[in-house]
Amino acid sequence: MKKTLVAMMAALLCISLFAGCGGSAQEPAAAQENAGKEETENAAEENAGESEALADGILKVGTNAEFPPFEYVGDNGEPDGFDIALIKEIGKKLGVEVQVENMEFDALVASIGKKVDVAIAGMTVTDERKKTVDFSNPYYMAVQYVILPEGSGIAGAEDLSGKKIGVQLGTTGDFIAEEIENAEVSQYNKALDAVNDLINGRLDCVIVDKNPALVFETRFEGQVKAVDGDNFGFEPEEYAISLPKGDTVLAEKINAALQEMMEDGTFDALVAEYIEES
Ligand code: GLN
């Protein structure tokens, strides 16, 4: 907003300066007028290229650092992970400072355009969320997995009915579980807490995204196994960055940065570092 005003004032100043100094015979009035018009048009073009979210030079990013390997709290106590590295690279390309804010997953969508500019959190593109936010182009394919205790007899969709299912609140796993017949769904703020309850025998299974499920399987080796949701008829999902509704300039810039990273190998390097290593 501020930037817009400054640009407008600068344009006005240019016009008045031009008009003020151009009264001589060498500068026909029509030329002055045209030059003035050009300045105004340039300024308008610049304004049209502005993103509200980027205007202060800071990209405030919401995440929920409970979703390894996409986001977790690093050794230094700060959010880290694939998504965090990705958005920092995007910030560099956009020439803005990236500030990451850790919050509950369920609060992210409502915070966009208010507390934060955008959110990156292994967030699946859904029609419901699209009513509130826009999404960047997708950057990762996922599917829900089912985490089971070792020796569980659950193997397919029909085995899930009537079961005690743990999910992370407000996630696509939560939405799937709510559709399962007679299921007793427990919603957690952290998927890890659900997995702990599974290990303690309080749940029959946990439904969570593929990559975190694989991380938990490794972390609790011998206690749980992660099963591909494809066996349960779960649909593939796409992760994207959620953006303030209508900020098309921001969307274009983020999509261009993503595209560049996919073409120049930076994206694959991050996949190798954060996802394949996990
Ligand atoms: N992909 C899931 C969703 O968007 C879960 C994301 C998460 O827990 N961070 O709902």
Q: Which atom of ligand 1 approaches the CA of 121 most closely? A: 9
Q: Which atom of ligand 1 approaches the CA of 64 most closely? A: 9
- What does the pLDDT read at residue 49? 67
Q: 171 C-alpha vs ligand 1 centroid, how far in Å?
A: 5
Residue with tokens 């499920």: 213
Q: pTM of whole model > 0.75?
A: yes
Q: 121 C-alpha vs ligand 1 centroid, how far in Å?
A: 7
Q: 173 C-alpha vs ligand 1 centroid, how far in Å?
A: 8
Pocket of ligand 1 (CB under 6 A): 64, 67, 105, 121-124, 168, 171-172, 209
For residues 213 and 145, the answer to whether their CB atoms sit within 8 Å is: yes
Q: Which atom of ligand 1 approaches the CA of 126 most closely? A: 4
Beta-bridge partners for 263: none
What is the full DSSP assignment across 173-235? HHHHHHHSTT-EEEEESSHHHHHHHHHTTS-SEEEEEHHHHHHHHHHTTTTEEEEEGGGGTPP
Q: What is the pLDDT of residues 12-64, one digit of tens each?
A: 443 443 333 333 344 444 445 555 455 444 443 444 468 888 889 999 999 99
For the chain, the straight-line distance linking the first and the last C-alpha, in angstroms and rounded, comes to 42
Look up residue 247 and give its DSSP letter.
-
Beta-bridge partners for 164: 184
Beta-bridge partners for 66: 72
Q: 106 C-alpha vs ligand 1 centroid, how far in Å?
A: 9
Cα gap 210→72, rounded to integer Å: 16
The stretches in the chain having pLDDT less than 50 are: 1-31, 36, 39-48
Q: 119 C-alpha vs ligand 1 centroid, how far in Å?
A: 12
- What does the pLDDT read at residue 22? 37
